[in-house]
Structure 1
């Protein structure tokens, strides 16, 4: 497996784990199975966008994270500073 493919697979695993954590939190807050199904449907749609892309596009990743209730911030880290390049709402 190429390093690029390995990195893409690792990103997909991390996103799936993030989603599972999100679903567990919703369940602990008393969300119904119907609510969880809706969230799963949203996840599958957003994940499909990511999965079908050769490279993950920031817009697709932002939609996915937003569907999970989060937001995406692109940050460049340097030894002496951190610069926010973009914040997606």
Structure 2
């Protein structure tokens, strides 16, 4: 009976655990990349996450789309996530309108 009671108390702790994911965003040259959710040095912490599957997506005008899928069941360090700089040519169109 005592072991059953212990399991009943333990199960909610396992199911509703609070975990965190940490990591650092850099470019291919190792320079830090600032994002909305990152610190000045490119590091980030996402806290109060439950057990489950997550997808971390970084979308920027300056970098290629980055996506990383993971299953969270304990605190997780993703380490250094290296983003690829997006190279694109900007085109500019100027419209002139004359009124008399």
TM-score, reference length from structure 1? 0.29
Higher helix fraction (1 or 2): 1
Higher strand share: 2
TM-score w.r.t. the length of structure 2 is 0.27
Larger Cα-atom Rg = 2
Whose RCO is larger (CA < 8 A, sep 6+)?
A: 2
